[in-house]
Structures are given as C-alpha cells and as structure tokens.
Structure 1
Amino acid sequence: MPFDPALPVSKRDLLALIGKAGGASAMYLAMTSLGQAQASPFKGVPGLEGGSKGASVLILGAGLAGLTAAYELRRAGYAVQVLEYNDRVGGRSWTLRGGDRFTELGGATQTCAFSPGNYINPGPWRIPHNHYAIMHYCHELGVALEPFIQLNYNAYVHSTKAFGGAPQRYRHIQADFLGHVSELMAKAVKKDALADTVTKEDGEILLEALRDLGALDKDYRYVAGKPSSERRGWTKGPGGGLSAEPIASQPLTFEAVLQSGLWNHISDSMGSTHHTAIFQPVGGMDMIPRAFAKQVGDAVRFNAKVTQITQGETGVTAAYVDTKTGAKATARADWCICTIPLSILSQIDMNVGPDMAAAIGAVPYEASLKVGLEFKRRFWEQDEQIYGGITMTDLPIGQISYPSSRYGSPGPATLLGAYGFGAFAYEFTSLPPAERVARAVEWGSRIHPQYSQEFVSGVAVGWHRVPWTQGCFGNWSDEARAEHYKNLCQIDGRIMLAGEHASYIPAWQEGAITSALDAIGRLHQRVMAG
C-alpha cells in the first residue's frame, strides 16, 4: 500500500519508516540474537600473581584459544605442553598461499596455486576495532595491521530479479532509498501528519535533518541535481577547462528501488562488528598465530590427533596418535584446557560429568564455504574503480570481497569469490573442488564479465569437510545456551574448555581469546586455592 503523506502517521509508523531507511535497529536486534552486537568485555589480561606452585597444564589445540592460554600460563610460571592436530598453529585462523596443500573429508585434495604474495583467509578475515583482546595481542606481539574495507560505496549490490540482473552501485541504492524516504517524511511533516508525535518546533528541525539526510533540494524534493548527485555520484563529474561543467545523475524511481529489495543491503555494515575501523594482519590472518608461535611454539607437538582424554584425582592424560607415523603416545599434566571444537570433542572419549558431556553434545556447528579466486589483473580496480569492500548478491556465492591491500599493483591478484552458509554450503561442497571453483567463476561473471577471461586459479574450503573441525563455528540456540552454556564453561574436575564455542561471540577470534583468558583466570584461582 503506497504511503499517503496526507494521512496521520503514528509514532510506530514513523519509527518503522526510519528503520527501513537506516536498518540499524533491525540489524542490532539480529546481531544481538547471535551474541555479536556488543563490544568485547576485555579489560586486560587476568592477574596470575603468586606463581604456579609448580603446576603443569596440558592444552589441547593450538588455535588462538590454546595459544593464548599457553602464552599467559607460561609467563606465569606454569609448565605448558600443547597437542595440535595440524602441522601448523592457528586452527581456523588459517591462510592459504601458493604451494599450500590440504585434504578434506572424502579424500579430495587441493593445492593452492596462487602467485607469490597472494593469499586467501578461509576462516577469520577481519578484526573489528572493538574486539579489544585480539587487538591487544596484535600490538603486544608486533603483528602489523592494515585497514580492511568493509563498506565501499562504489561496490555493487546485486539481485538476479531486479534491473534485469544488472548490478547496481551501493551508493545509488543507498542515496536513492534515503532520498525518497526523506522526501516522503518531509511531506508528512509539512502536512502536520506527525502532529501527535512531533511538535512544530521539532518539525522544523526534522525538516532540515531530512534535507541533509536525503540530499533534498530547497523544496524538499529528491530529484536530479547537485544535492543528489553529490551523494549518489554525477553522470559526468566536475572537471577543468571547457569540459568542466558536471552533468547531474538521474535517481532511480522509488518504486524501482523498493521493488528491487536491494535496500536491504543498506544495513549490512551497520552492526557494531562492521563499524570502521576494521583491520586485517598484513600478509594474512595466520600472522597472529605465527606471532604467538614465536613465544610458545616450542611447547607445541604437531600432528597429534587426540583419541582419549582421561582425568583422575591428580591429573589429566591425553592419548594421541601421530598422524604422520601412526605412533601412539600419551601426554600428562596436572590440569587440562581443551580447545578442541565441540564437533570433534563430542567424538572423543572423555570422562567428564554428565552436565559437561550433555553441553558438549548440545551445540551443532554451522556449515560454511569460502572460495578464493586468483585473476590475471585487478580488473575491479582498473575497470570499475572498486578498491576493497564487498559486493552483495542473491546468487549462491553470496558475496564478493575485494582485497584491501596492494592497491594498483600489477600482475595477478586474489579476491574472495564466494562466502556462504547452511544449505548452500552443503550443496556446493557436494561437488568436486574444481567444479565448485568453476561455479563461483560462472556466477561471479554475472556481476563482473571479466571473470572468464581473467581467471587463473582457485581454491574452495567447505568447513564442514575440514577433518579437524567439521564445521565453521558453534551455532548456539537461545534454548541450548540457557540450558548448557554454564555447564560447558565450568571446571569439571581438572578439565576446562575454551574456544569460540565457549563464548558469547561465536565465530569470532575475540570469542576464542576471551574464553581462554577467562579459563586461565579461574584455573589459576583453583591452583592457588589448592
């Protein structure tokens, strides 16, 4: 039903219109339900004063949770040893470069063929400014950071059902949607349709706010002209000499914008974890675990697949198999911090109480897929002036993320060519890896026709097919969290768990680190009280 500015508008309707224009409230509620909308609670590393009393700790897993625990416990004087399934540190903080090789469940093996200097992060790929714990360790360990471009007004939003399938610049959709909504709201104010909500004085202020927000002209209209063109871009920008005069761009009609559904992407970067500034480690996300490894790498035993965890009154023993030689061995310590993903831990024999056992089995893991693509040149920069940022699409690839570094450099470059979850990820990874990559190129070419001619190579990582995690992240429901979360995080005898699954920040490295800091703080209290 079309909006009639002559009809009274309730406060609820006003808020609904503003919500559609901005989307912040809806995004905030959605993010809160995932436990992702709040800034990190990190206020500093917990004090581990008083020494370790000669205690030893066995840490299972050398992802960021395990590395954080090892780093801080060793500094406090604890004897630390770490068992890690892979032949590297980092866990899901993983970077693929040319020459890297990995085998997924089912036996398919991929070898990354990227040129030197190019990479893709199959797991974490950005660090929000308000994830204070991981920022703390980047600074402390000397990990160089650079900006990650989350929102680029010159990137695209795309729907196969709108504008004949032609991608639209984000700036066009955002400016036109806000402009048209602001014009409607201005008409409502001028006709006193908001009199029950907005006083006359506030109405005058609101009119000026709407003129500024929507780039309206002097008559409060959103039309082709300088205000709208300064917001959405000119058809021909101002220049110098005889050809200097600019040509205003023509806004899309309100009906076209509404019917496209592309306004839905205006709120994509409004969640607090996507606010500027966002960062990435220079050279790849694994620069963070590598920095930890310089401090505690000598405590890590690689290629160690844990098969059983047994605790008694005086300590914890983990049985493991060397994945390279098949040799069996055990490791023992007074205490154990286990950071193994619950998707794997639920398959390992471990003598914990029924509450923790139930919690471990209560959390399913999300399926996810990323496809990294390398091209002969940076055509997105050279042809389309897109420098970093993300294009959103309703195609199965979900999104395309352009590199936020080495702008303008010649030669091959990589981008994230697909990032999807759930049913799409399961369906996509049922295909052989080469076909997954081919599909990503095919779909991406509907947005960037240069794909087919410029494509060089690609890799496709389906997290539910990764042997050592079998999923992307712990996908808590509100009901499961209410029933099991505290039991998951409690100390059970001499065992405690840590990782992103033991946090209210699922899927983020911050959750892994803060859970580890909480665990070692409580463990130290137990040791000191012992």
Structure 2
Amino acid sequence: MAIGRSPERIVVIGAGMAGLVCTLELMKQGYNVRLLEANSRPGGRIYTMRDPFADGMFCEMGAAFIGAHHFLTLSYARQVGVQLINVPVPGRSLSYINGRLIIDSPDEPALWPVSLTAEERMLGYAGILEKYLEPGLQATGNPFLPGWPTKQAVQLDSMTMEQYLIGQGASSGAIKLFEIGYMQMLGDGIRKVSALQRLLDLKMASSERSTQTIVGGMDQLPKKLALTIGSTISYGCAVTHIEQSNKEVTIQFIHSGEVFTISCDRVVLAIPSTVLRTIHFSPPLSKEKNEVIQNQLSTSVTRTVIQSRTRFWRNLSSFATVNTDLKIGWLLDATFTQTTSKRGLICSYSSGESARELSRAGTINSAISEMKQVFPELSNHYEGGMVFSWDHNPYSRGAYAWYQPKQMIRMLPTLFSEQGRIYFAGDHTSLFPGWIEGAISSALRTVNQIVSSNSL
C-alpha cells in the first residue's frame, strides 16, 4: 500500500484455514479486512463433531492429522498455542480383505489372500510399497524448485496411478493391496486418479517422524485463529453475486434471509470450486478460469461413526486402523487420544463411489453390517451412530479436489491466478488438496499476490 493512503478494503470469503490465514496475514500488513463465512463456525473442512456422542467424546469429520514436515501448519499451531499429541504407531497392521481379517507385522508377515508373485510374497507388504512407490516418489521431483514440472512429473500426470503401478511391474494381487485403505482415498481411486497427484499426496502424508493431532480436537486450531481475528468475521453470510469494476468489487450475500451488499477494493475467494460454481460473477470470469472451476473434481467422502459402550478392540492387536476392501473403506479408532470414558468411537472413512453408495443408502444399516463383518464383537457393544457426507454439505459440496490424468499440471496455474481484483485461495488451488498445509500455503501465496500488486 502507498504511504499516506487509506488502507485497502479487502473481503475474504470463507473461514476455512485458507481464509483465516489470509485474513490474519492481511491484517498484519495493515489492510482493512472483513471475513464472510456461510457457516456458523470457522474451520471449513476441519470439523470436529461432538454433539451426538456421550461422555464428551468427539470425532473428526475432516482433517485429523498433522505431519512432522507440515511446517506451516505446525507454525500456526504454535502461534495460537494448541497442544499437540503424537499419533501412536502400532507394531502390527490390520487389514480386512476377501472376507478375512489379516494381521501383518515385521515378526509375523501376513499371508495375503491375493495372487502375488514369488518376489512380492518374499518382500511382504512394506517391501511391496517400497519397491513400487519409491521410483515414483523420486520421479515427482521437488515442486518448489525452478524448472518444475519436470518431464518425469509431466509423464506421471499423463497416467493413472494404476497404470503407473502396472508399468512398475506390480501384479494384479499387489494392485489389489493398493486398492484398500489410504491409497484409495483420492477421488475415485487408483484406477482413475493422476499418478502425479497420488504420489505427491503420499509425500505429504508420509514422514519418518511422528504424525500428530490436536488435543481436544482439530477444531481448536481454527477456533483460536478466529479468536485472534475477532469481530472481523461475520458468520451466516452466504455470498451469491460478485460484481467487479475497474475501481472496486461489489459483493452480495444473504444473512438471516435478508440480502446485503458491500463494496471493497479486492476480494479473496477461499472457497472450493464446487461452491464457486453457485456464485454469479459480473462480468463473467475468463473462459479458461470458468472452465477449470466448472470441471475441477471433488472427492466424495462419507464418514460413518458408531459409539460402543466399551473399547473391546483393545484386545485386537493394537487396533488403530483397519484397511478394508468393503464400502466402509478405512476404519479407525476415533477416540485413541480420549481417555475420560470407557466408551469409544469407531469411524469409517469411505471415499469415491463407495462413499456415494453409503450416502445414498440413507441409513446407517449397510455401514453397520460391514463393520460387524470386521468386528463381530460390535453386536454386543453398539450404542448408536451417525452418517456424515461431505457431498451433502452445501458449503463444501465434496471433500477435497482430485485430478484425472493430464488435469493437475494444466489446471493449477489457472486455479490460483487472479482475475483483476478477485483472488483465489484454498487447498484446491495448492499442490496438496485435502491438507491443512495446502490451505495455508495457498493463503500465503495469495497474500503475496496482493502485496506484490500494491508495490507495482
């Protein structure tokens, strides 16, 4: 901003992590910022659900973990003073595949009920992951260095993750193992997602050091950021129209059934492409920008949470998670950090078509039936549960962005480029959709875009 001028008025739309960090950093720079949020809470897809559960228990519906190399996230966690706790790493892993509960450990390697080559059986699950993933992880390169994307990265973006694995020599049985658990949780799974995105996401997920979560719930981070920002935030404000001229931006939104209009010098849209599609722009966004917004894909995620009167699973080989080949997807102990109750929560994390099927079912029954296949003891301990679909949330309309082949490298520069006085932030505009780290990095990039435009 030029010295002697009044502070620019900036409106940030969306109080997820990207919008919160944008607002905070722009305020530090001396801008006059207002933050509009359609929900009645901050955090976006950081959503800790508490109300349905007994004894003060809670379950994460969205972001749940912070990696040891998520330096931006850890920095803001320190700034606001949330307490972190390490996620335990069990000595054994559990998988449910082809109707069998499989226990795998370094001391007792599993006999997987799939067709593996002799070499793959000798390698074991961990060895299979290393053999087939390590070349791809190296080939992605470093997206923060000049010259990226490299030819290897472009090649990875031109194929699906399944095609990459086949090219590495993975057998059909090995690919079946890649289709259970975390590997399937981008878009509609490894048969459709860009190999580049799948491998970059694995880099973001993995760490040689500990993964952490926030004591008392992940929502403590956005709540404390919101407290720092203060009355700048207005909740219950759903934006419907944005009109841009050479001099200002006019924003129309609905609050408590009434239509309001405000004007500003610039606007930051920190909301997903799926929600941007519902806003009317005048004049329209560029053809290229609009095409990308209309066609960016969003992963379907359905969470099913059951409450158990005891934590009977403590007898089951240090259960923390179970990878399954069922519609319920990935099962995890949602209360591993919560010690005040004898009760517990098991959460099913389902994605893609399986998530859509569970959501369409309309009841919890089909999910419960599959959970009982994995944990027969559940029949004697079940106290109730609930189903939550991100597809049905009006302010997300899906969980996190994903790319088919030849989309990621093409779409990203358009996603984060400004349009006159309109700027775009959010994890969907970053290299790491679905991660708090991606949201924060997008916010800092957007702040730099605004500050740089003022210095010209």
Pick aligned residue for 2:288 from 344, 355, 366: 355
1:391 and 1:400 in contact (8 A); partners too: yes
1:265 and 1:392 in contact (8 A); partners too: no
Paired residue type of 1:152: P
Distance 2:4 2:62 in 1: 36
2:104 and 2:110 in contact (8 A); partners too: no
Which residue in 2 is equivalent to 1:401? 332
1:338 and 1:495 in contact (8 A); partners too: yes
Pick aligned residue for 2:311 from 366, 378, 381: 378
Which residue in 2 is equivalent to 1:510? 437
Q: Which SS does the other structure have where 1:115 is aligned?
A: coil
Q: CA deviation at 1:64?
A: 0.4
Is 1:301 matched up with 2:301? no
Scaled by the length of structure 1, the TM-score of the pair is 0.67
Which residue in 1 is equivalent to 2:134? none
Q: CA deviation at 1:281?
A: 0.9
Paired residue type of 2:381: E
1:173 and 1:262 in contact (8 A); partners too: no
Which residue in 2 is equivalent to 1:93? 46
Distance 1:406 1:483 in 2: 41
Q: CA deviation at 1:407?
A: 6.5
1:400 and 1:415 in contact (8 A); partners too: yes
Distance 1:363 1:446 in 2: 36
Is 1:346 matched up with 2:277? yes
Q: CA deviation at 1:483?
A: 3.2
Which residue in 1 is equivalent to 2:129? none
Which residue in 1 is equivalent to 2:353? 423
Is 1:128 matched up with 2:67? yes
Aligned-residue CA RMSD (Å): 2.9
Which residue in 2 is equivalent to 1:118? 57
Which residue in 2 is equivalent to 1:32? none
Distance 2:5 2:210 in 1: 39
Distance 2:86 2:274 in 1: 33
Which residue in 1 is equivalent to 2:388? 461
Paired residue type of 2:104: Y
Paired residue type of 1:520: V
Distance 1:404 1:470 in 2: 27
Distance 1:489 1:259 in 2: 39
Is 1:291 matched up with 2:224? yes
Pick aligned residue for 1:440 from 360, 363, 367: 367
Q: Which SS does the other structure have where 1:153 is aligned?
A: coil
Map 1:310-349 → 2, pairs under 5 A: 310-322=243-255, 325-349=256-280
State the number of aligned residues: 382
Is 1:154 matched up with 2:107? no
Q: Which SS does the other structure have where 1:301 is aligned?
A: strand
Which residue in 2 is equivalent to 1:166? 100
Q: Which SS does the other structure have where 2:420 is aligned?
A: coil
Q: Percent identity?
A: 24
Q: CA deviation at 1:292?
A: 0.5
Q: CA deviation at 1:119?
A: 0.9
Q: Which SS does the other structure have where 1:128 is aligned?
A: coil
Map 1:202-217 → 2, pairs under 5 A: none
Q: Which SS does the other structure have where 1:83 is aligned?
A: strand
Distance 1:281 1:428 in 2: 29
**1:185-242: CA deviations, max 9, x gaps?**
9xxxxxxxxxxxxxxxxxxxxxxxxxxxxxxxxxxxxxxxxxxxxxxxxxxxxxxxxx
Distance 1:267 1:395 in 2: 10
Paired residue type of 1:308: H
Q: CA deviation at 1:442?
A: 1.6
- The runs of 5 or more residues in structure 1 that have no matched partner are 1-47, 99-112, 186-257
Q: CA deviation at 1:397?
A: 0.8
Scaled by the length of structure 2, the TM-score of the pair is 0.77
Distance 1:423 1:490 in 2: 31
Q: Which SS does the other structure have where 1:420 is aligned?
A: strand
**1:80-108: CA deviations, max 9, x gaps?**
1011110111111111102xxxxxxxxxx
Larger radius of gyration: 1
Distance 1:267 1:467 in 2: 27
Which residue in 2 is equivalent to 1:368? 301
Q: Which SS does the other structure have where 1:124 is aligned?
A: coil
Q: Which SS does the other structure have where 1:175 is aligned?
A: coil
Paired residue type of 2:60: N
Distance 2:120 2:417 in 1: 52
2:276 and 2:293 in contact (8 A); partners too: yes
Distance verdict in 2 for CA 1:261–1:327, change over 3 Å: closer
2:311 and 2:343 in contact (8 A); partners too: yes
Distance verdict in 2 for CA 1:266–1:177, change over 3 Å: farther
Distance 2:429 2:3 in 1: 27
Moved more, 71-80 or 353-362: 353-362
